[in-house]
């Protein structure tokens, strides 16, 4: 997994971190993060193109194997990362219009792992996120990445 750039940690300590992903998007979470960031004047927006997306569609729906499967996974993830970057740009513009300093980071990966790497570097005062909409049995069997984030963030996590 790629490491987040060193430059994001510099002046963002104590920021509000908005953690979004392919499966975790909420206009209410965005509004709450911007509202909380008004106090500290800093917002870190993290978007994770979740690797599980490709596994759900490519493994289950298409049943492809080998090189074709890998190509489909890679293309699907790149498409969602690109879409996520556009969404992040909209959030960034909205927050900057309110005088909030914003940095963003986008990566293909696993939600909790990417977020915790950013947390380690940025040391936010608060994280705002939302849960993905998955069946309860999936959460029990595979766990919930948001729970990992809550347990290991070292700061309050608001789940919308």
pTM above 0.85, yes or no: no
Domain ranges (residues) in the chain: 6-159
Domain 6-159: assigned CATH number: 3.40.50.620
Range with lowest mean pLDDT among 7-11, 18-22, 40-44, 91-95: 7-11
Q: Are 61 and 35 within 8 A, CB to CB? A: no
Cα 134 from Cα 47, distance rounded (Å):
19
pLDDT band at 38 (very low <50, low <70, confident <90, very high): very high
Residue 25 has pLDDT above 70, yes or no: yes
Phi, psi (rounded to 5 degrees) for 142: -105, -10
Taking the CA of residue 147 as centre, how many other CA atoms within 13 Å lie in the half-sphere pointing to its CB? 5
């Amino acid at each position: 997994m790629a490491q987040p750039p060193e430059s994001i940690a510099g002046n963002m300590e104590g920021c509000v971190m908005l953690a979004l992903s392919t499966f975790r998007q909420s206009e209410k979470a965005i509004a709450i993060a911007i509202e909380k960031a008004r106090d500290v004047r800093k917002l870190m927006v993290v978007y994770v193109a979740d690797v599980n997306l490709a596994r759900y569609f490519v493994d289950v729906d298409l049943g492809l194997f080998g090189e074709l499967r890998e190509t489909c996974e890679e293309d699907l993830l790149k498409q969602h990362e690109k879409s996520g970057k556009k969404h992040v740009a909209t959030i960034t513009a909205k927050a900057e219009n309110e005088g909030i300093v914003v940095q963003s980071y986008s990566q293909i990966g696993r939600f909790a792992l990417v977020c915790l790497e950013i947390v380690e570097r940025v040391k936010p005062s608060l994280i705002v996120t939302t849960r993905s909409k998955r069946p309860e049995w999936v959460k029990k069997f595979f766990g919930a990445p948001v729970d990992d984030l809550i347990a290991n963030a070292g700061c309050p996590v608001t789940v919308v």
